[in-house]
Structure 1
Amino acid sequence: MIRTWLVTMVALVLFTGCGKELEEYNKPAEYWYEKMVTAVSNGNLEKADNYFSSLQSEHISSPFLSEATMIMAQAHMAHDEYLLAEHFLDEYIRRYATPEGREYAEFLKIKAKFLALPNPGRDQGLIDETLASVTGFKANYPYSTYMPLVHTMETQLQLAKGVLDEQIAQLYERLGKPKGAAAYRAIAPVTWIKSEEVVNADIPWYRAMFEGDGSSSWYDFMIPQTRSVVSMDDNLSETK
Structure 2
Amino acid sequence: MRFKLRLLLLATSCILFFNACSKELEIYNKPAVYWYAKIIESISEGNIDKADNYYASLQGEHIGSPLLPEATMILAISHMYYEDYLLTEHFLDEYVKRYANSNEEEFAEFLKIKAKYMALPNPRRDQVLIGEAILESEKFKTSYPNSMYYSIVDAMATNLYIADAVLNKTIAALYKRIDKPKSAAYYKAIKPQPWIVWNEIEHAKSPWYKAWFEGDGTESWYGYLIPDTRSVVSRNSISDDEEPNK
TM-score relative to the length of structure 1: 0.85
Q: How many positions carry a matched residue from both structures? A: 229
Question: For 2:96, what is the secondary structure of its paired residue?
Answer: helix
Aligned to 1:238: none
* 1:172 to 2:213 alignment: no
Aligned to 1:39: 42
Partners of 1:175 and 1:224 within 8 A in 2: no
Partners of 2:85 and 2:115 within 8 A in 1: yes
Judged with a 3 Å threshold, the aligned counterparts in structure 2 of structure 1 residues 230 and 49 are, in CA distance, closer, same or farther, namely closer
Counterpart Cα distance in 1 of 2:128 and 2:203: 20
Please tell me the residue identity of whatever aligns with 1:78: Y
Aligned to 1:148: 151
Question: For 1:34, what is the secondary structure of its paired residue?
Answer: helix
Gaps of 5+ in 1: 235-240
Displacement after TM superposition at 1:185 (Å): 2.0
Aligned to 2:61: 58
Displacement after TM superposition at 1:208 (Å): 1.2
Q: How do 1:112-151 residues align onto structure 2 when only pairs under 5 Å count?
A: 112-151=115-154
Question: For 2:30, what is the secondary structure of its paired residue?
Answer: coil
Partners of 1:175 and 1:223 within 8 A in 2: no
Judged with a 3 Å threshold, the aligned counterparts in structure 2 of structure 1 residues 9 and 179 are, in CA distance, closer, same or farther, namely closer
Percent of aligned pairs with the same residue? 51
Aligned to 1:29: 32
Counterpart Cα distance in 1 of 2:44 and 2:77: 12
Aligned to 1:191: 194
How large is the RMSD of aligned CA atoms in angstroms? Answer: 2.9
Partners of 1:74 and 1:85 within 8 A in 2: yes
Judged with a 3 Å threshold, the aligned counterparts in structure 2 of structure 1 residues 17 and 68 are, in CA distance, closer, same or farther, namely closer
Judged with a 3 Å threshold, the aligned counterparts in structure 2 of structure 1 residues 42 and 191 are, in CA distance, closer, same or farther, namely same
Displacement after TM superposition at 1:215 (Å): 3.0
- More helix as a share of residues: 1
Partners of 2:138 and 2:157 within 8 A in 1: no
Question: For 1:83, what is the secondary structure of its paired residue?
Answer: helix
